[in-house]
Amino acid sequence: MRIHFGPGYRVHFHQTRHIRLCAPDWRRQVDPEARHQTRPEDGAGVEDMTAKKAKAKSAAASELAPFDVSRHLNSEAVIAEYLAAALEDPNPDMFLRAVANVAKARGMAAVAEASGLGRESLYKALSPGAKVRYETVRKLVDSLGVKLTVTT
Protein backbone atom coordinates (compact mmCIF):
# COMPACT_ATOMS: atom_id res chain seq x y z
CA MET A 1 0.00 0.00 0.00
CA ARG A 2 1.33 3.44 -0.89
CA ILE A 3 0.38 6.80 0.54
CA HIS A 4 1.78 10.00 -0.96
CA PHE A 5 2.76 12.78 1.45
CA GLY A 6 3.62 15.86 -0.56
CA PRO A 7 5.89 16.22 -3.55
CA GLY A 8 8.19 13.21 -3.76
CA TYR A 9 7.57 11.68 -0.35
CA ARG A 10 5.91 8.29 -0.15
CA VAL A 11 5.12 5.80 2.58
CA HIS A 12 5.21 2.11 1.73
CA PHE A 13 3.53 -0.56 3.88
CA HIS A 14 4.81 -4.09 3.38
CA GLN A 15 3.29 -7.41 4.43
CA THR A 16 5.98 -7.83 7.06
CA ARG A 17 4.60 -4.74 8.82
CA HIS A 18 7.59 -2.53 8.05
CA ILE A 19 6.98 1.09 7.28
CA ARG A 20 9.39 2.86 4.98
CA LEU A 21 9.42 6.60 4.33
CA CYS A 22 11.02 7.36 0.99
CA ALA A 23 12.60 10.70 0.33
CA PRO A 24 12.29 12.21 -3.12
CA ASP A 25 14.79 11.07 -5.70
CA TRP A 26 16.11 14.30 -7.14
CA ARG A 27 18.66 12.51 -9.32
CA ARG A 28 15.93 11.65 -11.82
CA GLN A 29 15.38 15.29 -12.60
CA VAL A 30 18.34 16.01 -14.87
CA ASP A 31 17.69 19.65 -15.65
CA PRO A 32 15.28 21.17 -13.08
CA GLU A 33 15.18 24.53 -14.88
CA ALA A 34 14.13 22.96 -18.17
CA ARG A 35 10.94 21.61 -16.59
CA HIS A 36 9.62 25.04 -15.75
CA GLN A 37 10.57 26.85 -18.92
CA THR A 38 7.79 27.79 -21.28
CA ARG A 39 8.19 27.71 -25.01
CA PRO A 40 7.71 31.12 -26.59
CA GLU A 41 4.76 31.49 -28.94
CA ASP A 42 6.85 32.77 -31.83
CA GLY A 43 9.24 29.76 -31.71
CA ALA A 44 12.22 31.86 -30.62
CA GLY A 45 13.66 29.23 -28.20
CA VAL A 46 13.24 26.15 -30.38
CA GLU A 47 16.82 26.21 -31.70
CA ASP A 48 18.18 26.27 -28.16
CA MET A 49 16.14 23.20 -27.20
CA THR A 50 17.23 21.22 -30.26
CA ALA A 51 20.85 22.17 -29.59
CA LYS A 52 20.51 20.89 -26.01
CA LYS A 53 18.99 17.62 -27.25
CA ALA A 54 21.76 17.17 -29.83
CA LYS A 55 24.41 17.83 -27.18
CA ALA A 56 22.80 15.27 -24.84
CA LYS A 57 22.73 12.67 -27.65
CA SER A 58 26.39 13.23 -28.52
CA ALA A 59 27.36 12.90 -24.85
CA ALA A 60 25.51 9.58 -24.61
CA ALA A 61 27.07 8.36 -27.86
CA SER A 62 30.58 9.17 -26.66
CA GLU A 63 30.34 6.61 -23.85
CA LEU A 64 32.13 3.51 -25.04
CA ALA A 65 31.27 -0.07 -24.25
CA PRO A 66 34.01 -2.00 -22.41
CA PHE A 67 36.38 -3.86 -24.72
CA ASP A 68 35.85 -7.62 -24.77
CA VAL A 69 38.79 -9.57 -26.21
CA SER A 70 36.83 -12.81 -26.44
CA ARG A 71 34.70 -11.35 -29.25
CA HIS A 72 37.77 -11.10 -31.47
CA LEU A 73 39.25 -14.53 -30.77
CA ASN A 74 37.57 -16.17 -33.73
CA SER A 75 40.35 -18.25 -35.34
CA GLU A 76 43.07 -20.64 -34.22
CA ALA A 77 45.83 -18.33 -35.50
CA VAL A 78 44.53 -15.35 -33.53
CA ILE A 79 44.19 -17.45 -30.37
CA ALA A 80 47.75 -18.82 -30.77
CA GLU A 81 49.23 -15.33 -31.21
CA TYR A 82 47.20 -13.97 -28.29
CA LEU A 83 48.38 -16.72 -25.92
CA ALA A 84 51.98 -16.38 -27.15
CA ALA A 85 51.94 -12.65 -26.46
CA ALA A 86 50.46 -13.28 -23.01
CA LEU A 87 53.22 -15.77 -22.18
CA GLU A 88 55.88 -13.14 -22.99
CA ASP A 89 54.57 -10.91 -20.18
CA PRO A 90 56.40 -11.50 -16.87
CA ASN A 91 53.13 -11.23 -14.92
CA PRO A 92 51.65 -14.76 -14.54
CA ASP A 93 48.14 -13.34 -14.15
CA MET A 94 48.36 -12.08 -17.73
CA PHE A 95 48.54 -15.62 -19.10
CA LEU A 96 45.66 -16.77 -16.88
CA ARG A 97 43.59 -13.80 -18.07
CA ALA A 98 44.38 -14.74 -21.67
CA VAL A 99 43.35 -18.37 -21.08
CA ALA A 100 40.14 -17.09 -19.44
CA ASN A 101 39.39 -14.93 -22.50
CA VAL A 102 39.98 -17.86 -24.85
CA ALA A 103 37.78 -20.08 -22.67
CA LYS A 104 35.06 -17.43 -22.76
CA ALA A 105 35.32 -17.26 -26.55
CA ARG A 106 35.00 -21.04 -26.82
CA GLY A 107 32.30 -21.28 -24.15
CA MET A 108 33.12 -21.80 -20.47
CA ALA A 109 30.81 -24.78 -20.08
CA ALA A 110 32.32 -26.57 -23.08
CA VAL A 111 35.89 -25.92 -21.88
CA ALA A 112 35.02 -27.07 -18.36
CA GLU A 113 33.53 -30.29 -19.71
CA ALA A 114 36.49 -30.93 -22.04
CA SER A 115 39.04 -30.29 -19.30
CA GLY A 116 37.26 -32.39 -16.69
CA LEU A 117 36.90 -29.46 -14.30
CA GLY A 118 33.68 -28.11 -12.88
CA ARG A 119 32.49 -24.80 -14.30
CA GLU A 120 32.78 -23.13 -10.89
CA SER A 121 36.29 -24.54 -10.45
CA LEU A 122 37.22 -23.17 -13.86
CA TYR A 123 36.04 -19.68 -12.94
CA LYS A 124 37.94 -19.89 -9.64
CA ALA A 125 41.14 -21.13 -11.32
CA LEU A 126 41.04 -18.35 -13.91
CA SER A 127 40.31 -15.51 -11.50
CA PRO A 128 43.04 -12.87 -11.06
CA GLY A 129 45.53 -13.75 -8.32
CA ALA A 130 44.67 -17.44 -8.31
CA LYS A 131 47.48 -19.86 -7.52
CA VAL A 132 46.81 -22.47 -10.18
CA ARG A 133 48.57 -25.82 -10.23
CA TYR A 134 50.47 -26.88 -13.34
CA GLU A 135 48.21 -29.86 -13.98
CA THR A 136 45.17 -27.55 -14.02
CA VAL A 137 46.84 -25.27 -16.56
CA ARG A 138 47.84 -28.32 -18.61
CA LYS A 139 44.23 -29.61 -18.63
CA LEU A 140 42.96 -26.20 -19.70
CA VAL A 141 45.53 -25.81 -22.48
CA ASP A 142 44.79 -29.32 -23.75
CA SER A 143 41.03 -28.70 -23.71
CA LEU A 144 41.54 -25.50 -25.71
CA GLY A 145 43.46 -27.43 -28.36
CA VAL A 146 46.60 -25.37 -27.90
CA LYS A 147 50.13 -26.75 -27.72
CA LEU A 148 52.74 -24.98 -25.59
CA THR A 149 56.30 -25.18 -26.90
CA VAL A 150 59.62 -23.92 -25.59
CA THR A 151 62.14 -22.33 -27.96
CA THR A 152 65.50 -20.67 -27.46
Q: Are 11 and 19 spatial neighbours (Cβ–Cβ below 8 Å)? A: yes
pTM (global) more than 0.85: no
From CA 29, how far away is CA 52, in angstroms rounded?
A: 15
For 39-88, how does the pLDDT look when each residue is reduced to its tens digit (9 = 90+)? 555 555 555 666 667 676 666 656 778 888 888 888 888 998 999 999 99
pLDDT of residue 65: 80
Q: Report DSSP state, residue 145.
A: T
Residues 6 or more apart whose CB falls under 8 angstroms from that of 42 comprise none
- Which domains, from first to last, does the chain contain? 69-144 (1.10.260)
CB 21 within 8 A of CB 9: yes
pLDDT category at 16 given cuts 50, 70, 90 is low
Stated as kind and residue range, the H or E segment containing 10 is: strand 10-13
Per-residue pLDDT tens over the stretch 117-146: 999 999 999 988 888 999 999 999 999 988
Confidence grade of residue 33 (pLDDT, cut at 50, 70, 90)? low
Residue 31: what pLDDT?
59
